[in-house]
């Protein structure tokens, strides 16, 4: 051994193989909150006669609009590629939807839901009318029953039993002795009419969100809520009036915290800071006609 060569020490390290961690399948933060919010919104849309296919089309249009606003905040020139990347939609679909949005809106009859189509077919199709032209009772049993034919013609892929239960639950039809009778009250109701209570719910949600720019900034929310039971409609309206009076007084009193215009002009270059106080007084009744 050459005593002039440097000593070489070999240090052995135990190598422990670690299994690769599987990718987490846990939902993203906010998924459960989003699901709960969508269930509430879907409940309103169903009462408006807007079903899932139509909602999906409207949602894709909404994503294109929101992505366009978001991209516009990040760069001066917004491209369809940017919008497609943000919205998760192909460029061809983005182009098609943007062309639709650019077209002038023509008044047109709203697309009917499945229940609306079945009701309209029952009331207008001669195959399901009696000798006087009125909707006739439809037999329910059997694969060739008249109600089965109505469902196949206007109900698409839903089963006749499901449609029957839905018509009965909405009090549009009554089952008796194996026949399904169209209720007289349903004949006088336009199937394209929008339920006023569901539309009021949708307008409230829209007005509550319209004051915010969700493409920018951060928001903190503090909510105070109270629910008061009312024995009758008269008491309900009295509590509503008194609540609105006190809310108006409170909102007027908050004006003392507002900065003078001169001071606010000096701060225009800084990020906008606001305190938004919204008062909503909701009256709720089990009967939609009297809400």
pLDDT score, position 251: 92
Beta bridge partners of 180: 138, 175
Distance in angstroms (rounded) separating the CA atoms of residues 158 and 151: 8
Examine the pLDDT at 24 and tell me if it is beyond 60.
no
Q: Note the pLDDT of residue 112.
A: 53
Mapped onto helix, strand or coil, the DSSP state of residue 251 is helix
> Which helix H or strand E contains 42, and what residues bound it?
helix 31-47
Contact 135, 121 (CB under 8 A): no
Using 50, 70 and 90 to split pLDDT, how confident is the model at 271? low
Mean pLDDT of 272-286: 84
pLDDT in the model for residue 172: 87
In this prediction, what percent of the chain has a pLDDT beyond 70?
Answer: 77
* Spatial CA neighbour of 135 closest among 194, 192, 180: 180
On whether the CB atoms of residues 66 and 215 are closer than 8 A, the answer is yes
User: What does the pLDDT read at residue 41?
Assistant: 94
How far apart are the C-alpha atoms of 95 and 80, rounded to whole Å? 7
What is the reported pLDDT for 39?
95
Burial 206-218, CB ≥16 within 10 A → b, else e = eeeeeeeeeeeee
With CA atoms as reference, report the closest residue to 67 among 47, 81, 52, 55.
81
Q: How confident is the model at residue 247 (pLDDT cuts 50, 70, 90)?
A: very high
Residue among 67, 34, 38, 35 nearest 52 (CA): 38
Specify the 3-state DSSP secondary structure of 37.
Answer: helix
Mean pLDDT value across residues 227-248: 89
Higher pLDDT, 79 or 286: 79
When pLDDT is averaged across residues 258-265 and rounded to a whole number, the result is 63
**Overall average pLDDT of the 111-126 stretch:** 76
pTM of the model: 0.59
Task: Report which DSSP code applies to 176.
Answer: E
Structure tokens at 161: 């039993």
pLDDT score, position 273: 81
Mean pLDDT of 145-149: 87
CB burial of 97-113 (b: ≥16 within 10 Å; e: otherwise) equals bbeeeeeeeeeeeeebb
Return mean pLDDT, the chain: 78
């Amino acid at each position: 051994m050459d005593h002039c060569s440097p000593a070489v020490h070999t240090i052995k390290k135990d190598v422990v193989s670690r299994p690769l961690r599987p990718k987490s399948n846990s939902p993203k933060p906010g998924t459960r909150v989003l699901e709960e919010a969508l269930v509430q919104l879907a409940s309103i849309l169903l009462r408006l006669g807007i079903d899932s296919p139509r909602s999906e089309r409207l949602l894709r249009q909404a994503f294109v609009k929101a992505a366009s606003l978001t991209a516009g905040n990040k760069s001066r020139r917004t491209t369809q590629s940017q919008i497609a990347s943000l919205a998760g939609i192909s460029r061809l679909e983005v182009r098609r939807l943007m062309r639709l949005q650019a077209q002038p809106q023509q008044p047109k009859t709203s697309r009917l839901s499945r229940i609306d189509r079945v009701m309209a077919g029952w009331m207008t199709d001669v195959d399901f009318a009696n000798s006087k032209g009125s909707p006739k009772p439809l037999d329910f049993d059997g694969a060739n029953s008249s109600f089965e034919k109505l469902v196949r013609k206007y109900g698409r892929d839903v089963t006749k039993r499901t449609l029957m239960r839905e018509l009965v639950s909405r009090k549009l039809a009554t089952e008796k002795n194996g026949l399904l009778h169209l209720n007289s009250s349903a004949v006088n109701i336009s199937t394209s009419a929008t339920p006023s209570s569901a539309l009021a719910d949708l307008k409230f949600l829209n007005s509550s969100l319209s004051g915010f720019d969700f493409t920018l900034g951060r928001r903190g929310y503090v909510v105070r809520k109270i629910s008061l039971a009312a024995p009758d409609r008269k008491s309900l309206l009295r509590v509503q009036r008194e609540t609105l009076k006190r809310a108006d007084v409170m909102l007027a009193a908050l004006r003392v915290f507002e900065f003078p215009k001169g001071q606010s002009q000096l701060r225009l270059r800084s990020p906008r800071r606001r305190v938004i106080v919204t008062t909503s007084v909701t009256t709720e009744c089990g009967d939609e006609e009297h809400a």
